[in-house]
Structure 1
Amino acid sequence: MIRMWIDACRPKTLVAALVPVVMGTLVFWIYGDKLHLGAQQDYLFTFFSCLGFALAAQILSNFSNDLGDSLRGADNHNRVGPKRAVANGLISARAMKMAMGVVIALACLAGWKLGISHPILFIPATLALILAMGYTLGPLPLAYHGLGDVFVVACFGLQATALTVYALYLEVGTTVTCEMPWTPAFIAGLGVGLLANNILIANNTRDRETDVASAKKTLVVRWGRTFAKLHYSFNLFVGIFCLNIVFGPLPLVIMPLALWQMAGFWKAQTAQEFVPFLARAAVLMLLMALLCVTATCLGWIPVKF
C-alpha cells in the first residue's frame, strides 16, 4: 500500500521541485543579501517553507497527471514505463482525489506562515496549485494542448526560483540591508526550468505512441521525435549557459555529462530506449545544483548584476 503511493508521487520528478528552491536561495544569498547578515533562522524557515510547498505542488501535479491520464485513456496496457496507479487499478480514482486534497492542505500548511506575513505570496502560490491540477484535469488540460512544456519552464523554473528569492527578500529584508535581485532570479529560473523540461520531454518522447492514440497533443506528438531531440539539446545548452551566467564557470563542469546524455537521446529510437532519460535528466539537475552550491560556498561567483 505505502509503496504504490510512493510510486504515484514519482520520486524521480521531485528533483524538479527541490532544485529551483535551492537555486533561489543561492541567488538571494549571492545577489540579494550582499552583506550575508541574514538571520540564520529566517533563511532556514523560508527555505523549508518554500521547499515544502514546491514538493507538494509537484506531487499534486503528479497525482493530477495520474488521474487525468487514466480518465482520458492515455495510460493503458500499451504504455511503456512505470505503471500508473489509477489506470492499473492500484489506487481508485476516489482515493486519488482525496489524496490530492490532502496534498493541497499540506501545501497550504507549508506556506501558511509566509502567506500570513506577506499576503502577496498567496497569488502566485494559488496560481501554482491551480496549474498543477490543470496539467491534465479540467476543461483545458495543459498537457493535452501542447502547453505542458510551457507549464514546466514557467512554474518549476521561473516561478519557483524567483518566488523563493522573493520570499527570502520579504522575510529577511526586514532584518538586513538587501535588494531584490530580479535579473539573476529570472535567468537562474529559466536555466532550471529548461533543464527540468527535459524530464518532461523524455517522458513524452517515450509515450508518443500512446499519446497519439488518446489525442494527447504534446509537442512530441505535434512535431515528432526529431523535434523532441532538438528541443532536448537546446534545453541542455541554454539551461547550462543561463546558470553559467549567474553562478560562474563551475556549472560548465557538467558539460561532458550533458553531451553524453544528448548523444544517447539522439541515438534512442524505441519507446523502451527513452525510458532511462527521465532519471538521467533528474540526475543532471541534481548535480547542477550541487555544482552551484559548491561555487557559492567557495566564492567563485562573478557578481555581474
Structure 2
Amino acid sequence: MKLRYWIHTIRIHTLLLSCSGITLSFLISQSIKNVSFTTYVLSILTALLLQILANISNDYGDSITGVDSFKRIGPKKTIERGYISLLEMKKAIYVFSILSFFSGFLLLYQTLLWNNVFIFFMYFIGILLCIYSSIKYSVGTNPYGYVTGMGDLFVLIFFGILSVEGSYFLYTQILSIDVFFLSLSIGLLNVGVLNVNNMRDLDNDYEKGKHTIPVWLGMKYAKLYHTIIILTSIFLGIYFMLMNQKIIYNWFFFIFIVIFLILHIKEIIYMKEKKMFNLELKKLVIFTFLYGISIGIGFIL
C-alpha cells in the first residue's frame, strides 16, 4: 500500500497553513454579515488542493535537482527513498493541478457568478497563477524557491494577502485596508514557517546551490530575520486589534497565542541542534492557525 507514502508526501502537518488565513477572514466576515458557508468550504478545498500541489511538486523538484539528499535533516522525500517514482509523482502533479483548477473555478462561479466580469476574470487569472506558482517553486528551469528571498515573498503573497484579503473579498465583496494589514500578519507567520524549514536545511541547501534567506544570511542573522518576521506579525496583529476592538475577548485570545509565539522566538534564538527545528516548525504551524482563530473567534464573540 502506497497510501501512507502519499500521505507523507502531502505533509498533512503543514495543511493547517492553508486553513488559517481563509478561516480568519471567514470569521471576521461573519461578524459583519451572514457569509455563505459553501463559499468558505470551497475556499478551503481550493487552498488545500493548491498546497498539496505545491508539496508534491516540491518533492518532485527537489529530487530532480538533487537538493533532497541523504544529508538533509528534514523528513526525507518519498522519491529519494524510492517509495514513489518520478513518473507517479509527475502524474500526481497533473491530477492536483486539474483538481485545483476545477475547485477554484467552482468557487468563483458560485461566489461571483457573472455580476462583474472584470473581477471574475481577475480571480480566474489568479487561480491559474496560483497553480503555476505552486509547481514553479521547485520545478522547471530556475525555480523561484531556489532564488534568495523569492520563496519568502511568494509565501507572503499567497498564504497571506491572497488567503486573507482575497477570500475576505469573496465573502463580503469589500476590500479593507485593516484586513490587508492582518493578511500581512498571517503571511509573515507563514514566512516564518518557511524560514524555520530553511534554517534546518541550511547546510544541505548551501551545498546544493539552493539560495534561501538563511543560506544568504548565515544561521546567526537568519535567527534575527526570524525574530523580526514574528515580531512584525505580532505588531500588525496588534494594529488590527486596536483599529477593530469590540470586546475584551478579542485581546484575551490574541494575547494567549502571542505568548506562545514569543516563547517560540526564544527557542529559535537559543537552539543549537538543527534537528530541533523540526519540532519548532510543527509548533509554528499550529501557532499560526491558532493565531488566526484567536482573532476570528474574538470577533464572533
Match of 2:271 among 253, 268, 273: 268
Residue among 166, 170, 180 paired with 1:167? 170
SS at match of 2:283: helix
2:236 maps to: 242
Which residues of structure 2 form unaligned runs of 5+? 114-119, 246-250
Deviation digits for residues 98-138 of structure 1 (CA, Å, limit 9, x no counterpart): 11111112212322223332343111111111111111112
Are 1:50 and 2:43 an aligned pair?
Answer: yes
Q: Distance in 2 between matches of 1:121 and 1:261?
A: 36
Q: Do the aligned partners of 2:28 and 2:300 also contact (CA within 8 Å) in 1?
A: no
Which string of whole-angstrom CA distances, capped at 9 and with x for unpartnered residues, describes residues 38-91 of structure 1?
Answer: 3x5xx2111111111111111111111111111111111111121211121111
Candidates 221, 225, 230, aligned match of 1:227: 221
Opposite residue 126 of structure 1, the aligned amino acid is L
Change (3 A) 1:244 1:29: farther
Correspondence list, 1:63-78, <5 A: 63-78=56-71
Q: Which amino acid aligns with 2:210?
A: K
Q: Does 1:26 align with 2:20?
A: no
Q: CA–CA distance in 2 between the matches of 1:291 and 1:102?
A: 35
Partner of 1:141: 143
CA distance in 1, matches of 2:282, 2:271: 15
Q: Confirm or deny that 1:151 pairs with 2:154.
A: yes
8 Å Cα contact 2:28/2:296 also seen in 1: no
What CA distance in whole angstroms lies between the structure 1 residues aligned with 2:11 and 2:293? 22
Q: Percent identity?
A: 26
Provide Cα deviations, 1:165-216, integer angstroms capped at 9, x if missing partner: 121234xxxxxxxxx1321221111011001111111110010111011100
Matched, 1:256 2:259: yes
Match of 2:97 among 100, 104, 122: 104
AA of the residue aligned to 1:81: G
Distance (Å, rounded) in 1 between the aligned partners of 2:28 and 2:238: 13
After superposing on structure 2, the runs of 4+ consecutive aligned residues of structure 1 that deviate more than 4 Å are none
> Bigger shift: 117-126 or 221-230?
117-126
Distance in 1 (alpha carbons) for counterparts of 2:145 and 2:136: 9
| TM-score, normalization by structure 2 | 0.88
Instruction: Give the count of matched residue pairs.
Output: 281
Root-mean-square deviation (CA), in Å?
A: 1.6
Partner residue of 1:173?
none
SS at match of 1:181: coil
After superposition, where does 1:110-125 map in structure 2 within 5 Å? Answer: 110-116=103-109, 117=113, 118-125=120-127
CA contact (8 A) 1:23 1:289 kept: yes
Q: Relative to structure 2, which stretch is displaced further, 131-140 or 70-79?
A: 131-140
Equivalent residue number for residue 116 of structure 2: none
Asked if the contact 2:21–2:160 (Cα under 8 Å) also holds between the matched residues in 1, the reply is yes
2:178 partner amino acid: P
CA shift for structure 1 position 9: 0.5
Conserved 8 A contact 1:28-1:181: no
For residues 71-86 of structure 1, the aligned pairs below 5 Å read 71-86=64-79
Q: Report the residue type matching 1:100 in the other structure.
A: I
**Mapped contact 2:152–2:194 kept (Cα < 8 A):** yes
Matched, 1:9 2:10: yes
Amino acid at match of 1:138: G
User: CA separation in 2, counterparts of 1:279 and 1:271?
Assistant: 14
1:27–1:185: 8 Å Cα contact kept in structure 2?
Answer: no
* Structure 1 unaligned blocks of 5 or more: 171-179, 299-305
